């Protein structure tokens, strides 16, 4: 998908906080909503287009449903993701979602959740920008986040100390009452310093979590481990549980 971003006209701009701006654009008969961190330079709308040459976009090899790119901003590296459906629904509607209000769009909801977590010191990438292209009844969406350098998926790590830290990190996320909708070994990244990061909070939410909900989250992670790297279950999963149970011992 190539996004047209030439000469959009800003019809509304406001600063939500000291550093986050909300912009509404009118372009080619459609309304575009942007939520922007100050690290996103002008032309801001172009930064959500993988075809924008200064971004030097490179397709992310795994995940993202062929709709995620590593991109370059003047001051840092970032990840651009366009929201696309999976499963059977994707055969009918690939990249459009029902409009239920701006705050409930996939990109704005994830941006806001990431920002709350990032401000609280949880290990999530800094959210840089969210975009929504609104139609009459549907919308398209995209998200920019800061790239975690030299990161690899947890499923490619066999070091028990990393899995111990991963257990602690997920426990901290649950302690903060965040439920991850797709907790798997690709959505936990490990950087060069062995720090574990949580990514892809699409459809995640913050709510009071029960022990059952937390256990279901962990079961989803275990299923992905068994699918991707079953050889690691015997050596790493009990260590992960040990790290998790340092915070919660009821799961």
**224 class by beta-carbon count within 10 Å (0-12 exposed, 13-18 middle, 19+ buried):** buried
pTM of the model: 0.90
Would you please indicate which residues are annotated as catalytic (active-site) residues? Answer: 182
In a domain, 179, yes or no: yes
**Number of folded domains that form the chain:** 2
Omega before 215 cis (within 30°)? no
Task: Examine the fold and report which residue of 146, 181, 205 is the final residue of a domain before the chain moves on.
Answer: 146
Verify that 128 and 237 share a domain, yes or no: no
Consecutive 10-residue averages of pLDDT for the chain (251 residues):
49 64 87 95 95 95 73 96 72 79 96 97 98 94 97 96 98 98 96 97 96 96 97 97 92 81
Domain range for 175: 152-245
pLDDT value at position 30?
84
CA distance 99 to 84: 15
pLDDT value at position 28?
77
In a domain, 95, yes or no: yes
> DSSP characters for 171-214?
HHHHHTTEE-TT--TTSEEE-TT--EEE---TT-EE-PPPHHHH
Verify that 203 and 231 share a domain, yes or no: yes
Verify that 16 and 132 share a domain, yes or no: yes
């Amino acid at each position: 998908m190539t996004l047209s971003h030439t000469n959009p006209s800003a019809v509304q701009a406001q600063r939500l906080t000291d550093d986050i701006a909300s912009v509404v654009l009118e372009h080619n008969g459609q309304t575009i909503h942007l939520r922007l961190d100050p690290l996103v330079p002008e032309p801001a709308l172009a930064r959500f287009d993988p075809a924008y040459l200064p971004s030097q976009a490179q397709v992310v090899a795994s995940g993202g449903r062929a709709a995620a790119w590593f991109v370059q901003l003047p001051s840092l590296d970032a990840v651009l993701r366009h929201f696309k459906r999976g499963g059977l629904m994707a055969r009918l509607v690939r990249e459009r979602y029902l409009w239920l209000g701006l705050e409930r769009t996939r990109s704005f909801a994830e941006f806001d959740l990431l920002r709350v977590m990032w401000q609280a010191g949880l290990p999530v990438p800094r959210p840089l920008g969210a975009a929504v292209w609104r139609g009459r009844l549907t919308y398209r969406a995209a998200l920019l986040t800061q790239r975690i350098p030299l990161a690899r998926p947890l499923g490619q790590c066999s070091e028990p100390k990393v899995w111990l830290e991963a257990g602690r990190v997920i426990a901290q996320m649950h302690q903060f009452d965040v439920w991850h909708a797709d907790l798997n070994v690709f959505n936990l990244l490990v950087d060069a310093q062995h720090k574990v990061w949580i990514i892809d909070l699409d459809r995640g939410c913050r709510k009071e979590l029960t022990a059952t909900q937390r256990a279901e989250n962990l079961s989803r992670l275990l299923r992905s481990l068994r699918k991707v790297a079953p050889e690691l279950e015997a050596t790493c999963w009990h260590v992960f549980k040990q790290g998790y149970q340092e915070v919660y011992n009821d799961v």
